[in-house]
Amino acid sequence: PGTSLPIAERENQLANLASVVAGCTKCTLLAKCRTQTVFGEGNPAARFAFFGEAPGADEDRLGRPFIGRAGQLLDKMVQACKLQREDIYLLNTVKCRPPENRNPDPTELANCREYFEQQLQILRPEYIVCLGAVSAHSLLKTKLSIGRLRQRFHQYHESKVLVIYHPAYLLRNPDAKKAAWADLQMLMRDAGLA
Ligand code: URA
């Protein structure tokens, strides 16, 4: 949607932004604790961006988003939508792993905000799927619970935004999988995948 950049230009701009992020030291603690930043990855022409919280231990070690247990469940959820990882773009709200996987604090969220905003501005995906409360609250500037935010489309610039439970939450609360599946079906219907 909107005036979209040619793919080569998107790749170029994403690579430039990734190198700025790699050198970021705005959060002194996170910059000291991280093995590396996790910028995000995927198809620069994706219709769908999946927007997570922050890297965990596996992601911090390998520099790639969603490759641990939550990532494996996310892959299944994406496949259930008849999509593959190659079709989508994956990014996080915060690009460094918080110590012991604690939630990013308000200063860290504010420091990292310009990076995901620029990333989404380059990508301009048709849909942004917020995984969990941290990404939803940051993107939509709201404090409503997932229960209140799910099952309807929100707007972020030209992108439609859907909020679903984080796969790490679903691993701990399998009863919520039914709700997540209903949300993904809503996405598929709206996007013409079902
Ligand atoms: N959880 C997230 O929110 N993001 C990742 O990249 C991995 C786990």
Tokens of 107: 């200063």
* Tens digit of each residue's pLDDT (9 = 90 or more) over 92-138: 999 999 999 999 999 999 999 999 999 999 999 999 999 999 999 99
Q: What is the CATH number of domain 7-191?
A: 3.40.470.10
Q: Which residues of 87-116 are buried (b: 16+ CB within 10 A; e: fewer)?
A: ebbbbbbbbbbbeeeeebeeebbebbeebb
pLDDT at 3 over 90: no
ipTM score of complex: 0.94
Cα(120)–Cα(40) distance, rounded to whole angstroms? 11
Tokens of 15: 């690579």
What pairs with residue 49 in β-bridges?
A: 89, 128
What integer is the mean pLDDT of 76-88? 97
Atom of ligand 1 nearest to the CA of 70: 8
Cα-only R_g, the chain: 16
What integer is the mean pLDDT of 4-33? 97
3 CA distance to ligand 1 centroid (A)? 30
Single out the residue of 165, 57, 35, 54 nearest to residue 111, CA to CA.
54
* Tens digit of each residue's pLDDT (9 = 90 or more) over 31-57: 999 999 999 999 999 999 999 999 999
93 CA distance to ligand 1 centroid (A)? 9
* Tens digit of each residue's pLDDT (9 = 90 or more) over 132-174: 999 999 999 999 999 999 999 999 999 999 999 999 999 999 9
Atom of ligand 1 nearest to the CA of 64: 6
pLDDT of residue 4: 84
Domains of the chain by residue range: 7-191
User: Is this model's pTM higher than 0.90 or not?
Assistant: yes
56 CA distance to ligand 1 centroid (A)? 6
SS3 42: strand
Residues whose CB is less than 8 angstroms from the CB of residue 58 and which lie 6 or more positions away in sequence, other chains included: 67, 68, 71
What integer is the mean pLDDT of 174-190? 98
76 CA distance to ligand 1 centroid (A)? 15
Ligand 1 cavity residues, CB under 6 Å: 52-56, 59, 65-66, 68, 70-71, 92, 168
